[in-house]
Amino acid sequence: MANVNEDRYVGPVMRKGEIGDAVIEAIQEDNKGRDIIIEEHESYFRIKVEGECLLRFETVGDMLGSDVASSDIESAMPAFEGFIRVSTDQIRFLSK
C-alpha cells in the first residue's frame, strides 16, 4: 500500500487530449526546479509536482495557441491532488 507519509506530490489529473497535453507542457515550464512525474493511464494523465504545482493559464495558452481560462482547464480536469487555489490567471495546487 502507498505510504501516506511520503513527501507529497500534487497536481492535476488531466483527461487525454489537446488541453491535457498543453497542461503537461505548461506545468513543466512553470515549475522548473521541482521534481515532476507524469503518470500515463488509459484515459488520463496524473501530473505530480513535488511540494507545489503552479499552472498558469497564459502558459497553457501559449502551448495551445489560444486563450485559456480556468473553465477550459476544469473541463479537462476530472481530479487533482493537493489543496487547490483558483484565481483569474492561475491555479495552484498546495501540499498542505
Partner 1 sequence: MAMLKMEDWYDLARETSWTPSYVRVDEMFPKPMSNDFDIPISEWEKFDEPYKISYREYVRMQRDKDVSAYSVKAALARSKFFENASPHWKALLALHFSTVGWSEFHSASCFARQSRFGRSPGMRNMATFGTLDEIRHGQIQIFFGYEFLKHDAVFDWCHKSSKTENWIPISLRHALDDICHTRDATTAAIMLTVGFEQSFTNLQFVALSADAAKCGDHTFATMLTSVQTDEARHAQIGEPLVRIMCANGKKEEAQKLVDIAFWRMWKQFSVLSGVGMDYYTPIEHREHSLKEFMEEWVIGQFGRSVVALGLDLPWYWDELHKDIESFHHAQQIGLYVYRALQWWRPIAGVSPDEREWLEKKYPGWNESYGKCWDVVTENIRNGDLEKTVPPVPPLVCNMCGLEVAGGVGDHWHPVNYNLELDGRRYHFCSSVCKWIFEEEPERYKGHTSIIDRVLDGTVPPGPDGLFEYMGQSEAERGVDGYDYEWIDGYNVIREAAE
Q: Which residues contribute to the site for partner 1 (CB under 8 A)?
A: 1-2, 4-6, 8, 13, 15, 41-44, 69-72, 74-89, 95-96
Instruction: Give dist(CA 81, CA 59) in Å, integer.
Output: 21
With respect to partner 1, which residue has the nearer C-beta, 32 or 67? 67
Instruction: Give dist(CA 63, CA 52) in Å, integer.
Output: 21
Question: Whose grid coordinates read 473553465?
Answer: 71
* Contacts of 13 by beta carbon, 8 Å cutoff, 6+ apart: 44, 45, 46, 47, 77, 78, 79, 80, 81
In the complex, what is the shortest distance from the CB of residue 88 to partner 1, in angstroms, rounded to a whole number? Answer: 4
In the complex, what is the shortest distance from the CB of residue 1 to partner 1, in angstroms, rounded to a whole number? Answer: 5
In the complex, what is the shortest distance from the CB of residue 76 to partner 1, in angstroms, rounded to a whole number? Answer: 7
With respect to partner 1, which residue has the nearer C-beta, 32 or 41? 41
